[in-house]
Amino acid sequence: MTDPILDVRNISKSFGALKASDNISLTLVPGEIHALIGPNGAGKSTLIKQIAGGLQADSGEVWFDGENVTGKTTVERARLGLGRTFQVSSLAMDYTVSQNVVLGALGHRGKIGLKGFFRPAMKDTALLDVANDALSQVGLDGFAKTRTSELSHGQRRQLEVAVALTLSPKVFLMDEPMAGLGAEGSLRLTGFLDQLRQQAPILLVEHDMDAVFSLADRISVLVYGKIVATGTVDEIRSNPIVRTAYLGEDDET
Amino acid sequence: MSAVLLIEQILNGLQFGVMLFLMAAGLTLIFGVMGLINLAHGSFYMIGAFAAAATAAATGSFLLALAASLVAAAVAGAIVEMTVIRRLYKRDHLDQVLATFALILIFSEGTRWLFGSFPLFLEIPEYLSGPISLPFGIQYPQYRLAIIAVGLLVAVGLFALIARTRIGIQIRAGESDREMIAALGVDISKLYTFVFALGAALAGFAGALIGAIQSVQVGMGEPVLILAFVVIVIGGIGSIKGALLGALLVGLTDTLAGFLLPAAFGLIMEPSAAASVGSSLASMSIYVLMAGVLLFRPTGLFGRS
Amino acid sequence: MKLKFLALVTALTSVAGVAQADVKVGMITTLSGGGAGLGIDVRDGFMLAIKQSGRDDIDVVIEDDQRKPDIAVQLADRMIQSDKVDILTGIIWSNLAMAVVPSALAQGKFYLSPNAGPSLLAGKGCHKNYFNVAWQNDNLHEAGGAHANSIGYTNTFVMAPNYPAGKDALTGFKRLYAGDLAGELYTKLGQKDYASEIAQIRASGADSVYFFLPGGMGISFLKQYADSGLTLPLVGPAFSFDQGILQAVGDAALGVANTSQWSKDIANPTNQAFVTSFQAEYGRLPSLYASQGFDTANLLISAVAVADVADADAFQAALKAADFSSTRGDFAFAENNHPIQDIFVREVIKEGDVYTNKIVSTALEDHSNAYVSDCKM
Amino acid sequence: MRKETILNACVLLGLLAVPLWALRVDEPFIITLATKAVIFAIAGVGLNFSLGLGGLVSLGHAAFFGIGGYSMGILASHAQSYTPLMGWPLVIDGTNSMPLIWLFAVLISSLFALVIGALSLRTSGVYFIMITLAFGQMLFFFMISWPAYGGEDGLVIYVRNGFPGLNTLDPIQFFGICFALLCGVLLAVSRIARSSFGLALGGARQNEERMQAVGLVPCKLYLIAFTISGAITGLSGALFADLNRFVSPTMFSWQMSGEIMIFIILGGTGRLFGPVVGAAVFILLEYLLGGLSEFWHVYLGAILLGVVLFARGGLIELIVGREVAHD
């Protein structure tokens, strides 16, 4: 088996009496989609935040691309190649779609420099190429000039993914990219993510079980801050613990 | 320097702090519950002082004057809340700053138009005037002791109001979650008017109490307003406990720095220069205190991040 | 800012003046915000004199400086550039005067000061077109020192706000004061609580207190001092005991000695007529500032009567002669165009319901100022 | 062309036309007023750079305005008295040259902005408003009691400083200098706003989390913006000092900070020309209302209140409508 590019080792995090992450370990290897599922409040977003850097774990380590990044900030991790999409759309709402993706491209460039104070960003062809490319990959190329706040819920999701793409990350962390997307949109994004795993592996938090089962190479199930099972789609489908703890118990998907 | 003098200065600092608390309590409540920056809070201080001076001149009674300050400031507060402030809750801080700045202009010049350009007269009642003898041979004005007592009583009353009463529960709910109080079936607009009027009344009360030992004049509220802001920021915005602690800290720092710094410089410089340098630094001291607190606790001592 | 009213005095009597164009006077003073009371008094005193003179050839443009130096400078620019005034007057505060006066003088205008008298304008920065009709800033404080000597105080505690005029005040006091200092304190400008200072005075073993705290600061200090139980005698310049603010101080001020070049009970006929007519015109007792405004206008009128303002040399000479009857009695200009006058000690009394002052002694007779020798005109 | 661009052009033309008209009818004071409006506009453009673009509500910008003013006052007073500003380790003489004074004002105020910004940016929201206010007040009280340069009395400079080839004492020429600087500042700010830096700064204002996720540090962006902002406001302070030929600690007062902020809100927050429109209208109101009554502040207050309550987004939005997204 190839070395994991993302290696989460024994992470724990408590908020008062609540154990949001209880000794969690998981890995992501190149080329795979590793889905993280679990009921609401299981601690999925808390885990993503600890991996991305917005939240410091109480104990445990995060290794990324052979490097211990536990003590690094969000920005440093982003620069190392962690591309992230947010559960609640986190975009510059007053900007156009195009401006949002250019921001991503700018972040990927890494520094603004003196030129960056005088050259109009939206006329910088290097940035625009990256941005337009990302937009067409997610299918938003017709909306470049639209104000982001005017996008539909689903379109904002696509834009989230597009921004993550501009960073040419080594790993994608995607927090519910399908939410609010509708059947057709989900289907299209599913196809797209299927391709995307060749570019970089994806740690996918998702409620849409059809998407998860059709995409995931491996699935981890998180319940009350603990990973109760990890395995292939078939293993998870047949896992009795998972069935009682999660799949059988509610149908909120 | 004698211990007696130091004790006396500490009492002075306490009295100043208690006074600031009356101003800051309203300011911090209004911010905590409604999320409003109210620059016009100093105007209620002025309104209270003017109402008290006018009432005292008409009736000769200091207690009536205090009552008048509470009523006038509360009424002014309620009216302003219902006509102007209410429209600002959903706005950003910038709009609030400008609108309440405009209110200062209106209140100040309006008061000057009503009462003229000269300071008004308000004096300490007979039964509280003059000094009282404390242990260690300290002579201390009764009135200032009374202010400390009244201020602490108001503080206790406020804590009780917030911890024990129905209104208090609503206020606390409003601080943590604005949608929730609507869900509780509380008439938000009435609650907001009440909180605003309460804050205004406290400021007006402070103005009247202080008016008796200082001058009652237009523009008296603004310096106090700035200090009250310093207080609530040090204490953590929205926290009554923080306001009390912050007020006492600011009061003591200002008084003791003004007293100790020139003396300290006097050890190494000639008196005239020491007095000048020392008092220059003293006048900056509370701002240094505030900047220092914020650097180590960016949301104040009791603020929520 | 543009509180403009041209004093178009109707010609009730025809005054035989020198046949000439109208004299244009620009008055920049504080009419709004804190401190407006002083400017209003100066304005009212000044306009009363103009009215009484019956002259219709003196146009006065009046503007409010809001006590802001930058506004004052811009008003001066405007009066000089647009209104084409010949003479400026009216400024209350030393810092505003320092901002306006030197450049106005440099542009060939006259300036008659009805209140502020910064030392620079009396010494190195003196000017032949600058006439101070009130006092040099140090004067009343020097009188305070002289008064302390004559009473026999030997251990005075002195106190002033921490700004240049405050430091000048204490320098002025110390110039003539012969005793020791029990303490020297500079308070924060605009400070309203003096508990700390009063405690220090109590602890200092002083035999008297000299303080310079103008306006609201003085009101606060006096009320708090009276309440502190301290009974050491207080001495201060007239600014904290002015007619306008005494009513706000009340009993706390009773009996306090203060130094002034004017008082409403100075017994000369000009002054008595002034007090009566001011009261009749405005319904209140005149203040120190009103008397200064009144004298300033009368000095101006006396000069206009004999010289043309366009003839700078003649007009200077006419002003310098000070050929007018002052509310203060004897009045003359020293070499540096600052007053030579008596400075009195007054005491606060109550007349019926009204607090006011009465003269108890003369602190300095025909007093000039310390900067005459620095002035090279 | 966009409506706002047309309006902006009209505002600039108007600002230019008024003093030229005043020159014709020989009303030099109107020129002075226009110059004041232009200088306040520069101060506002400075604050708007951090406030409008970066969302940093600073109630302490009077500090930079005052520092700019005192840069002029101190340099010119030393030139006036022929005493060096510093004798050791290197001799610095005072100067009467405007360009040098501007350079000095911009350098010193950006240095202060860098330090104050670095400390203040540890906080955010209301706390940021208040800590900037605190720094402003600190400098205000310091200047009042610092005796070397006049304390509360301030410093008088008898002759306006010089600019090569121009007679700065002539009101219209001095206006020209200020107007040219305003245009230069506007041009630079509009370029920076559209640059990569401006894009990132605006992004940070709208969503800090997003900026971190793409690997940009909001705090650094803010600090740079705050420094540039302080530098521009400092420049306007130096000009204001030269307009009055006088500096005093009132330039540091919190009311001054409030006034600069008013220009911005009055015109339109975040709009390039917001502070220009705001400053011009404010000066005009002051001039017109001042003639109405002794109590004109009441009217001014009422008008400002009206703008906040009924003209959200400021006067520019009232005229051209809501801002449209554009690249």
Query: Nearest-CA distance from B209 to chain D in Å?
Result: 26
Query: Nearest-CA distance from D78 to chain C in Å?
Result: 17
Could you tell me if A38 and A157 lie in one domain?
Answer: no
- Residue D269 forms part of a structural domain: no
- Residue A89 forms part of a structural domain: no
pLDDT digits (tens, 9 = 90+) for B188-236: 888 889 999 999 999 999 999 999 988 888 888 888 898 998 999 899 9
- Asked if the model's pLDDT at residue D189 lies above 60, the reply is yes
- Chain D residues lying within 8 Å of B98, measured CB to CB: 261-262, 265-266, 304, 307-308
CB contact (8 A) between residue B220 and residue C192: yes
Look up the CATH architecture of domain C23-135+265-333.
3-Layer(aba) Sandwich (3.40)
- Residue D185 forms part of a structural domain: yes
The domain containing residue D82 runs over which residues? Answer: 16-253
Is B141 touching C (CB cutoff 8 A)? yes
CA distances from A191 to A139, A211, A217, C111, C218 (A): 12, 9, 14, 87, 82
pLDDT for the residue A251: 44
Helix, strand or coil for residue D27? coil
pLDDT for the residue C157: 95
- Chain B residues lying within 8 Å of C239, measured CB to CB: none
pLDDT for the residue A248: 54
Give which of B55, B213, B200 is closest to B129, Cα–Cα: B213
Asked if chain D contacts chain B via 3 or more Cβ pairs within 8 Å, the reply is yes
Subunits with 3+ C-beta pairs closer than 8 A to A: D
pLDDT digits (tens, 9 = 90+) for D96-116: 899 999 999 999 999 999 999
CATH number of the structural domain spanning residue B150 = 1.10.3470
CB contact (8 A) between residue C227 and residue B271: no
Could you tell me if A184 and A246 lie in one domain?
Answer: yes
- Chain B residues lying within 8 Å of C199, measured CB to CB: 5, 8-9, 12, 259
A189-193, B252-256, C125-129, D184-188, range with the lowest pLDDT: A189-193
**Residue where the block lists tokens 């047309």:** D6
pLDDT for the residue D198: 92
- Asked if the model's pLDDT at residue B246 lies above 90, the reply is yes
With beta carbons less than 8 A apart as the criterion, state whether D278 and D264 touch.
yes
Q: Give the total number of structural domains in chain B.
A: 1
- Residue A88 forms part of a structural domain: no
CB contact (8 A) between residue C81 and residue D29: yes
With beta carbons less than 8 A apart as the criterion, state whether B39 and B222 touch.
no
Q: Give the total number of structural domains in chain D.
A: 1
Query: Nearest-CA distance from D55 to chain A in Å?
Result: 13
The domain containing residue B274 runs over which residues? Answer: 3-296
Interface ipTM > 0.85: no
Asked if chain B contacts chain C via 3 or more Cβ pairs within 8 Å, the reply is yes
Residue C9's pLDDT band (boundaries 50, 70, 90)? Answer: very low
**Nearest chain C alpha carbon to D31:** C78
- Asked if the model's pLDDT at residue C135 lies above 80, the reply is yes
Subunits with 3+ C-beta pairs closer than 8 A to D: A, B, C
Is D239 touching C (CB cutoff 8 A)? no
pTM for the structure as a whole? 0.85
Q: Give the total number of structural domains in chain A.
A: 2
The domain containing residue A53 runs over which residues? Answer: 1-81+169-253
pLDDT digits (tens, 9 = 90+) for C223-232: 899 888 888 9
> Between A70 and D322, where is the model more confident?
A70
Fold match flag (C23-135+265-333 vs C139-260+343-374): yes
- Residue D302 forms part of a structural domain: no
Region D252-278: mean pLDDT is 91
- Residue A86 forms part of a structural domain: no
Segment holding D275, helix H or strand E: helix D274-290
CA distances from D298 to B72, B105, C289 (A): 20, 6, 27
Task: List the CATH code of the domain at C139-260+343-374.
Answer: 3.40.50.2300
Calpha distance C227→B143 (Å, rounded): 8
- Asked if the model's pLDDT at residue B70 lies above 50, the reply is yes
Q: Give CA D151 to chain center in angstroms.
A: 23
CATH number of the structural domain spanning residue A35 = 3.40.50.300
Q: What is the DSSP letter of A245?
A: I
Calpha distance D322→D327 (Å, rounded): 16
pLDDT for the residue C16: 40
pLDDT for the residue D98: 92
CB contact (8 A) between residue C163 and residue D153: yes
Among D28, D144, D248, beta carbon nearest to C69: D248
Residue B183's pLDDT band (boundaries 50, 70, 90)? Answer: low
Amino acid in position B230:
V
Percent of chain D that is helix, strand, coil (3-state, to 5):
75, 5, 20
Phi first, then psi, for residue B270 (nearest 5°) are: -80, 150
Share the mean pLDDT of chain B: 88
- Residue A87 forms part of a structural domain: no
